[in-house]
Each structure stands twice: as structure tokens, then as C-alpha cells.
Structure 1
Amino acid sequence: MARFMDVHRGMQGITADELMEAHQADLAIEKEEGVHFERAWADPESGVVYCLSEAPSPEAVQRIHERAGHKADEIHAVPFSV
């Protein structure tokens, strides 16, 4: 399966609890699209949130995020890492 990093903008002031709540909403339904969200990071000052996932496609990632109520602004393939 491929890995993806997605970006959410406009989330200024997000708290750790809100990030966990959003992540849990994704986890609750991720299997329906064959997605696994590994981790999420947030910068409350800039309002940017990043999510790392394994998924069959970027569209599958977006469908889960949309259903969970936080559509991604960008989704990038991550073909390799070190």
C-alpha cells in the first residue's frame, strides 16, 4: 500500500484534544476504505495539520477525511522515507 501525507489548513487554535478527536473520527471508519491513519501533527498557531497514512489511493484518504468532517486541502504521495 502507498503512503500519503495530507495537509489541512485553517485550523488555528486547534488543541491536542481536538486533534485527537479528529484523528479518532478517522480511525473509526478508516477500514471502510482500506486506509490506515498512522499519525497526525498540528501547529495551532499557523492552523496547519498534517496526517500520515497508508492507503490504496489519495481519493480513499480524502473520502475518509470528508466523512469524518475535515476535508484535506492537499494530499501528497510519500514514495519513500529515511
Structure 2
Amino acid sequence: MTMFMDVHHGGMPGVTADQLRQGHDAAVAMEQEMGVRIEHTWADPESGTVFCLTEAPSAEAVTRVHERLGGAPDEIHPVPLSV
């Protein structure tokens, strides 16, 4: 599986840590069913931008899990190398 960083631009201005945690937990609850693993989620409350790091078989799988949560990402980038 490949790691993917996805970006949601401006859809969550003012997001709180609790709201971010709820969204992350909802995604984690679908991991097995959707065949992905949600690694981490970050947000910038000022701009409303959200970033998610997900291990998945494809970018399409990343899109599917986010669509189930109510919002497909604006960008998806494979992350083939990390340290």
C-alpha cells in the first residue's frame, strides 16, 4: 500500500480540536471496511484547510473514504518516501 497526503481547502474554517478528532475517529471506524489506514489528520482553523495522511491501495480509495464522510479531498498526493 502507498501513503497519500490529501488536502481539503477551506472547508472547515474555525474547526476545533474536538471536531477534527470526531472526523478522524469516524474515518478510522471505516478503515477495515474501506481497506485504508488513517495515519494522522491536521488542520488550520484559520484557513479551514485540513490535511490527512492515509495508507491506501490507491488515490481512489482515499477519495471513497472521504466521500463517505461527506467531502472528497481537493488534492491527493502520493508520498512514496518518508523517514
Tell me if TM exceeds 0.5: yes
Equivalents in 2 of 1:29, 1:70: separation in Å? 15
What amino acid does structure 1 have at the position aligned with 2:46? E
Match of 1:9 in 2: 9
Q: What is the rounded CA distance, in whole Å, between the counterparts of 1:38 and 1:28 in structure 2?
A: 13
User: Following superposition, which runs of at least 4 residues in structure 1 exceed 2 angstroms of deviation?
Assistant: none
Matches within 5 A, 1:26-41: 26-41=27-42
Q: Kindly state the Cα deviation for residue 33 of structure 1 after the two structures are TM-superposed.
A: 2.2
Identity %, equivalent residues:
62
RMSD value over aligned CA atoms?
0.9
TM-score for both structures, normalised by structure 2: 0.92
Give the aligned length. 82
- TM-score, normalised to structure 1, is 0.93
| Local SS of the residue matching 1:3 | strand
- Write the distance in 1 (CA, Å) between the matches of 2:28 and 2:72: 15
State the shift of 1:71 in Å: 1.7
Paired AA for residue 6 in structure 1: D
> In 2, distance between residues paired with 1:78 and 1:4?
5
